[in-house]
Amino acid sequence: MEHKAKNNNSHLWKSIIVFYLKLLILFFIILLFFTILYFVPVFYDWIYGKEIVVEHIKEIKGNETDALTTALLFMNWTNKNVHYPQLNEVKFHLGGGMGLYRFDNKTKFFFRGGPASWTIITKMGRCGEDARYFVEVMNKSGFNARMVKPETKEWDHAWAEFYTIDGYKIAVDPSSNQVIYDKFKWAADKNLTKLYAEDLNGKREDVTKEYI
């Protein structure tokens, strides 16, 4: 009886160990899947991004050399072609708005903060992706452009600014296809406290006094 009880205990412990090993393996498989999915836009941009963006700029901008006209062309493309992901059928949700969405008869992966090439291909984006796209294509078109965001989360939004050839700064909100002519009036009802502009290299500048 004692020997049988020991065998039963041994079998029970083996079963528990096997169960937790299976859970651990499943956890790492899921983690690997999400890691691969998360970096798909990054790898895609690294391989194809430059070609996609260059061809896109040629198609949208053509031979246009004026900064404001170029900005309007890119914002018009965003307004007509880029869709808010959550308005489409959700196939698989990852949190933070990221996930797989059914759009244009295709299942596409929406990635927050993704590069311009991913926005061009998937045609999905929110304010951050719209602003990132705008900044990338404007810079690659020869115009200095930066993203603008609140320092804190009192308003979860992102927009952009760019410089004309003669150095004049213009603020725009690509997600609403809007040129911000009066920044103080535009920001008046948004409860903003601190704002910063950030270039593609991550360099920040405090621009609060330009809006508040």
Q: What is the pLDDT along the chain (212 residues), one digit of tens a residue?
A: 555 555 556 666 777 787 888 888 888 776 666 666 667 677 777 888 899 999 999 999 999 999 999 999 999 999 999 988 766 656 666 666 666 777 777 777 777 778 899 899 888 888 999 999 999 999 999 999 999 999 877 778 999 999 998 899 999 999 999 999 999 999 998 888 899 999 999 999 999 999 98
Helical axes 67-81 vs 50-61, angle rounded to 10°: 110
Return all residues near 100 (Cβ < 8 A) that are at least 6 apart.
90, 91, 92, 107, 108, 109, 110
CATH number, domain containing residue 67: 3.10.620.30
pLDDT of 124 reads: 85
pLDDT of 108 reads: 73
Residue 112's domain comprises: 2-210
Total domains present in the chain: 1
Query: Which two structure tokens, joined as six digits, stand for 67?
Result: 């900064």
pLDDT of 7 reads: 58
Please give the Cα distance from 5 to 66 (Å, whole number): 86
pLDDT of 44 reads: 77
In 104-158, the DSSP E strands lie at 106-110, 145-150
Please give the Cα distance from 79 to 89 (Å, whole number): 20
pLDDT of 144 reads: 96
pLDDT of 92 reads: 60
